[in-house]
């Protein structure tokens, strides 16, 4: 498998991480919960281990959890003693259901699992061992496709980025969150590649600090200038510093363009609107869910209150403080200037233009 499609020339190849690699009989991935202090590589050998890794955010970011789940499906069936084709498909459905229940908001998870299952069902072979290989081949295909999509998103976003640009981003949308390169961060990598003088404002992204732990770490490796800010500083940065645009990623885009992304994105979009800073969402087509009409139908994951009461195992609130901890929020489509996809930029009317894009 080619792991380096069209690598950005002035970003050192080893600086842009490959966060996941299939190693013949296991999935190797970096444990994102240990970053930035330690680079710990995991060897996942069962679907249960993949499920645990997704649930506990060892692997996170919408495209990345879809890819991991596709490999997890294979890890859940390779040694299953299937009696026949039907038996294998039943088992695959069972494993897929377990993986799909690991996190609810990012549609990429069920998108990848459903596509893999459909691919098996459409395959003519009746031999379970052949069908198992079909599942693995499909996971590798999705993985490779995702890297190309990320590069295409990176290029597609360039008309939006001026030669001198201050960009605000939220959460982590880089290599760690995808097969490689990222979505919103790929636009930033490619601006750097084109020699643009780009500076990034990185929201720390409370409560789990994906911005400060992961995005700052990725940008530091590639040498792209950035400043880390707390989430509450973004408005002041828009008012007093150079902020030409906001680019974020997404976990699910509804048919009308309403967009779920990491908690804090909604507030950022309102700040951007107030300060007339264009707000864009980098979205692979796999994140667009035309089956739901609007953001009210997007399931929002609520996570452990301990994520808010503690920071890096240090108590920052009373032990019994009542906590509301939604991991995502929904930005209404009216606050979004456009979607940067692998097929180009989609502008309003989103209901019409997103469905046209997907039907093409």
Judged by the rule CB under 6 A, the positions of this chain that interact with ligand MRU are 60-63, 106, 171, 173, 177-178, 182-183, 210, 249-251, 261-262, 327
Least distance from ligand MRU to the Cβ atom of residue 63, Å: 6
Asked if 87 is an active-site residue, the reply is no
As a whole number of Å, the end-to-end CA separation of the chain is 27
State the pairing for strand pair 344-346/338-341: antiparallel
Least distance from ligand MRU to the Cβ atom of residue 7, Å: 19
Catalytic residue among 146, 203, 251, 289: 251
Least distance from ligand MRU to the Cβ atom of residue 52, Å: 15
Nearest residue to ligand MRU by CB is 249
Return the number of the residue (106 or 198) whose C-beta is nearest ligand MRU.
Answer: 106
Least distance from ligand MRU to the Cβ atom of residue 263, Å: 8
Return the number of the residue (177 or 193) whose C-beta is nearest ligand MRU.
Answer: 177
Return the number of the residue (175 or 256) whose C-beta is nearest ligand MRU.
Answer: 175
Least distance from ligand MRU to the Cβ atom of residue 266, Å: 12
Least distance from ligand MRU to the Cβ atom of residue 127, Å: 37
Burial of residue 7 (CB within 10 Å: 0-12, 13-18, 19+) is middle
Return the number of the residue (28 or 55) whose C-beta is nearest ligand MRU.
Answer: 55
SS3 string, the chain, reads CCCCCCCCCCCCHHHCCCCEEECCCCEEEECHHHCCCCCCEEEECCHHHHHHHHHCCCCCCHHHHHHHHHHHHHHCCCCCCCCCHHHHHHHHHHHHHHHHCCCCCCHHHHHHHHHHHHHHHHCCCCCHHHHHHHHHHHHHHHHHHHHHHHHHHHHHCHHHCCCEEEEEECCCCCHHHCCCCCCHHHHHHHHHHCCCEEEEEEECCCCCCHHHHHHHHHHHHHCCCEEEECHHHHHHHHHHCCCCEEEECCCEEECCCCEEEECCHHHHHHHHHHCCCCEEEECCHHHEECCCCCHHHCCCCECCCHHHHEECCEECCCCCCCCCCECEEEECHHHCCEEEECCEEECCCHHHHHHHHHHC
Return the number of the residue (32 or 256) whose C-beta is nearest ligand MRU.
Answer: 32
Return the number of the residue (222 or 261) whose C-beta is nearest ligand MRU.
Answer: 261
Least distance from ligand MRU to the Cβ atom of residue 59, Å: 9
Are the beta carbons of 17 and 186 closer than 8 angstroms?
no
Return the number of the residue (82 or 189) whose C-beta is nearest ligand MRU.
Answer: 189
Report the catalytic residues: 251
């Amino acid at each position: 498998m080619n792991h380096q499609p069209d690598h950005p020339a002035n970003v050192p190849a080893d600086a842009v991480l490959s966060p996941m690699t299939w190693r013949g009989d296991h999935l190797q991935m970096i444990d994102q919960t240990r970053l930035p202090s330690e680079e710990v590589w995991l060897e996942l050998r069962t679907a249960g281990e993949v499920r645990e890794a997704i649930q506990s955010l060892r692997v996170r970011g919408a495209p990345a959890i879809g890819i991991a789940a596709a490999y997890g499906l294979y890890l859940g069936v390779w040694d299953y003693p299937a009696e026949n084709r039907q038996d294998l498909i039943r088992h695959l459905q069972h494993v897929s259901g377990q993986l799909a229940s690991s996190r609810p908001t990012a549609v990429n998870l069920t998108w990848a699992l459903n596509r893999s299952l459909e691919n098996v069902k459409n395959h003519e072979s009746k031999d379970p061992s052949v069908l198992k290989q079909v599942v693995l081949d499909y996971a590798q295909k999705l993985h490779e496709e995702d890297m190309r999509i990320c590069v295409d998103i990176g290029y597609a976003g360039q008309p939006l980025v001026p030669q001198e640009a201050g960009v605000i981003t939220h959460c982590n949308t880089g290599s760690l969150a995808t097969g490689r390169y990222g979505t919103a961060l790929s636009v930033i990598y490619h601006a750097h590649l084109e020699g643009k003088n780009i500076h990034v404002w990185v929201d720390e992204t409370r409560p789990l600090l994906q911005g400060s732990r992961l995005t700052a770490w990725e940008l530091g490796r590639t040498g792209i200038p950035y400043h880390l800010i707390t989430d509450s500083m973004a408005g002041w940065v828009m008012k007093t510093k150079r902020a030409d645009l906001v680019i974020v990623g997404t976990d699910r885009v509804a048919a009308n363009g309403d967009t779920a992304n990491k908690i804090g994105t909604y507030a950022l979009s309102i700040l951007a609107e107030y300060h007339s800073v264009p707000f864009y969402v980098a979205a692979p087509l796999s994140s667009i869910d035309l089956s739901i009409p609007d953001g009210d139908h997007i399931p929002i994951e609520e996570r452990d209150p301990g994520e808010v009461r503690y920071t890096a195992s240090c108590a920052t609130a009373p032990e019994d403080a009542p906590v509301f901890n939604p991991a995502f929020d929904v930005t209404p489509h009216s606050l979004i200037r456009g979607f940067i996809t692998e097929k180009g930029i989609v502008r309003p009317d989103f209901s019409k233009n997103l469905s046209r894009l997907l039907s093409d």
